[in-house]
């Protein structure tokens, strides 16, 4: 995704949101000149494939990630928008430069990003995405680091 101002190919995402089911609007910031520009990317062209624990492969769904972050941050006092949090998660996913990624990798990255934003949101996301029907798992998670 070349910068429209200087042609530099490296940019970071500052805000991502899906439009209907067919495209993603991303605000990007050029890592060379610092200017911001907007891209409209079709979901079909998104190369990232997600594999879950049952080995089912499906295209990365921004909508799914956005809704889970929205749910996790709903009741909390958050300084960032849902779109900003999602963009940060995407940046870390893209930085892995892999075409195929496991659901568990996305969850791990999302937890790291949420931990920096709000620990209660992090916990909500954790309980939503991991099998933690026993309290020990939650307590171990809260005590980590
Ligand atoms: Zn630029």
Q: Ligand 1 centroid to 86 CA: how many Å?
A: 23
How is the chain split into domains, by residue range? 1-45, 46-143
Neighbours of ion ligand 1 (CB under 5 A): 3, 5-6, 8, 30, 32-33
DSSP state of 96: T
Pull the structure tokens for residue 124. 């909500």
pLDDT tens per residue, range 23-67: 888 999 999 999 999 988 876 666 689 998 788 898 888 889 999
What's the CA-to-centroid distance between 113 and ligand 1, angstroms?
26
CA of 62 to the centre of ligand 1 (A): 25
What is the model's pLDDT at position 94? Answer: 85
pLDDT at position 41:
82
The model's pTM is 0.76
DSSP alpha helices (H): ranges in the chain? 62-73, 82-95, 103-117, 119-129, 135-143
Q: What is the DSSP letter of 33?
A: T
pLDDT digits (tens, 9 = 90+) for 129-139: 876 555 565 66
Give the model's pLDDT for residue 132.
Answer: 53
The answer, yes or no, to whether residue 141 has pLDDT greater than 80, is no
Contact 39, 26 (CB under 8 A): yes
CA of 35 relative to ligand 1 center, distance in Å: 6
């Amino acid at each position: 995704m070349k910068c429209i101002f200087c042609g530099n190919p490296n940019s970071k995402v500052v805000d991502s949101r899906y439009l209907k089911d067919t495209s993603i609007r991303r605000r990007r910031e050029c890592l060379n000149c610092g200017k911001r520009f907007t891209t409209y990317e079709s979901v079909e062209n998104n190369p990232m494939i997600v594999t879950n624990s049952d080995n089912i492969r499906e295209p990365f769904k921004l909508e799914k990630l956005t809704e889970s972050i929205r749910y996790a941050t709903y009741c909390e006092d958050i300084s960032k928008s849902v779109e900003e949090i999602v963009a940060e998660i995407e940046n870390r996913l893209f930085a892995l430069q892999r075409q195929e990624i496991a659901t568990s990798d996305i969850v791990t990255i999302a937890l790291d990003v949420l931990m920096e934003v709000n620990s209660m949101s992090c916990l909500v996301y954790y309980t939503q995405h991991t099998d933690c029907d026993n309290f020990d798992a939650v307590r171990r998670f809260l005590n980590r680091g």
